[in-house]
Amino acid sequence: MVTSLQFVHSYWAYLVLLIVLLATFNALAGFFSKREYGAKDFRISLFALIVTHIQILIGLVLYFVSPLGFQNIAKVGMGEVMKNSEFRLYAVEHPFVMILTVIFITIGYSKHKKKLLSHGKFKTLAIFYTIALVLMLSRIPWDHWF
């Protein structure tokens, strides 16, 4: 089960990264070009929200069943996890930063819906989605990804 979850989590991450990149660049392009916010922009930002939420659900299940997540903290203790960079990445840093990523995407999506003008919608999405993208890129375990 853990291997299947890791497989799904790893390959779904490619889709998440692609969609969040697309949504971020779309928001930045819309903001700087001052174009009107349309149905396509709404769908792109919504799809980014959906795929990140699916990924975080898979990741949370994986966190509790994987030997590198919560089980590792329970087995060796938090002090030992924090001393080992690989343990720390999988048990603390990656989950925490990815939860923050999903929070920023959720806040950005929710706040942009309340804006009346296209410029405000794109600005809100651009700010929150860019922060989320930077956070996401900072904690992807690149050495295990390729």
CA–CA dist 117, 115 (Å, integer): 6
2, 86, 109 from 22: Cα distances, Å: 30, 30, 14
Tell me what pLDDT residue 146 has: 58
Predicted TM-score (pTM) of the model is: 0.91
Other C-beta atoms closer than 10 Å to the C-beta of 51 total: 20
**Residue 81: exposed, middle, or buried by beta-carbon count in 10 A (0-12, 13-18, 19+)?**
buried
Tell me what pLDDT residue 52 has: 98
Low pLDDT (below 70) residues in the chain: 145-146
Tell me what pLDDT residue 136 has: 96
